[in-house]
Structures are given as structure tokens and as C-alpha cells.
């Protein structure tokens, strides 16, 4: 039982929380191939990339395939339009010209959010174990068996 409890408490540590943070000026940032990024398109970029990504797409999220002075090529995993409606992709490659990029954000591990999530999850699991079946002690005194009253 003790090893099962420890395993359950360790599960949140296997997952993590991530945020996207700006990498620098969009006209010069060159993320490494394989890094996960979120690219926000300019208004002109949204219009120019409509044939490739669909209408009204504002954000593209995915892995960098290549990056140079002319733009970024992404293996897109998700897109989001201006109404915050997301669409999942299967890694299709999309070339995004540098002039069509408003911002580039890199995916970074968030230690604070992960610690908070892990603490809350671990505390919740510990509380559930205690409430549901953690103790087997009973209080009170045992009386005579049923039907065995004084004679």
C-alpha cells in the first residue's frame, strides 16, 4: 500500500506545465530546429497565409523545421484563429515569411506552475487516501454479542 501511495504522489512530477515566452524581435530571432514555438501572424500574414492555413488564423504552434533570414518553416501541431478557436494539425510543414511574423514565442518549462500543480495534486491524493481508507482504527467499546444480554 505504501509503494502504491508513493507512486500516485509521484505521478504529478512526471508531467509539467509550460508557457510560451517571447524569444526576441520577430525580424531577427532564429529558433533552433526542433524547438517548440508559437508564431503570431501579422494582419498581412493572416491574409497571405490563408491558402495554406485557412482563413482568419492568427497563431501557429509547432516545431521549427528550419529558420533563416527569410522566415521559419514549422511542423504545425495547432493553429488558432482570432476567435480563439483551435485546430489540431498533424505536423504539416508551413513556411512563414519573416515579414508575416508579428511575434515568436518559445515553449519554456514553468517551475512555479508545475510545483503548484504537483503540490495540489499530491495534497489532494493524500487527503483522499486518509478520508477514504487511510485509517482502520475504531473508537468505543465492544459490547456483548447480539442476543447475549444479561441472564
Q: How far is 21 from 16, CA to CA, in rounded Å?
A: 16
Q: Tell whether the torsion through CA atoms of 122, 127, 130 and 131 is positive or negative.
A: negative
3-state DSSP assignment of residue 49? coil
Q: How far is 1 from 79, CA to CA, in rounded Å?
A: 44
Res 80 pLDDT > 70 = yes
> In this predicted structure, what is the pLDDT of residue 5?
57
Closest to 108 measured CA to CA, from 29, 21, 11: 21
Res 53 pLDDT > 80 = yes
User: Could you read off the pLDDT of 21-50 as tens digits, one per residue?
Assistant: 888 888 888 899 999 999 999 999 999 999
Q: Tell whether the torsion through CA atoms of 95, 97, 103 and 106 is positive or negative.
A: positive
3-state DSSP assignment of residue 55? coil
CATH number listed for the domain at residues 18-109:
2.30.30
Domain spans of the chain, in order of start: 18-109
H-helix or E-strand spanning residue 39: strand 36-41
Amino acid at each position: 500500500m505504501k509503494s502504491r501511495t508513493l507512486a500516485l504522489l509521484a505521478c504529478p512530477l512526471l508531467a509539467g506545465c509550460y508557457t510560451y515566452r517571447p524569444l526576441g524581435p520577430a525580424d531577427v530571432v532564429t529558433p533552433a530546429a526542433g524547438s517548440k514555438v508559437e508564431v503570431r501572424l501579422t494582419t498581412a500574414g493572416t491574409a497571405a497565409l490563408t491558402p495554406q492555413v485557412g482563413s482568419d488564423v492568427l497563431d501557429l504552434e509547432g516545431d521549427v523545421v528550419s529558420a533563416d533570414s527569410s522566415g521559419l518553416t514549422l511542423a504545425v501541431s495547432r493553429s488558432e484563429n482570432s476567435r480563439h478557436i483551435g485546430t489540431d494539425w498533424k505536423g504539416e510543414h508551413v513556411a512563414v515569411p519573416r515579414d508575416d511574423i508579428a511575434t515568436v514565442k518559445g515553449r519554456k518549462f514553468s517551475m512555479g506552475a508545475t510545483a503548484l500543480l504537483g503540490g495540489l495534486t499530491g495534497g489532494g491524493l493524500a487527503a483522499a487516501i486518509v478520508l477514504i481508507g487511510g485509517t482502520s482504527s475504531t473508537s468505543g467499546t465492544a459490547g456483548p454479542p447480539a442476543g447475549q444480554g444479561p441472564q
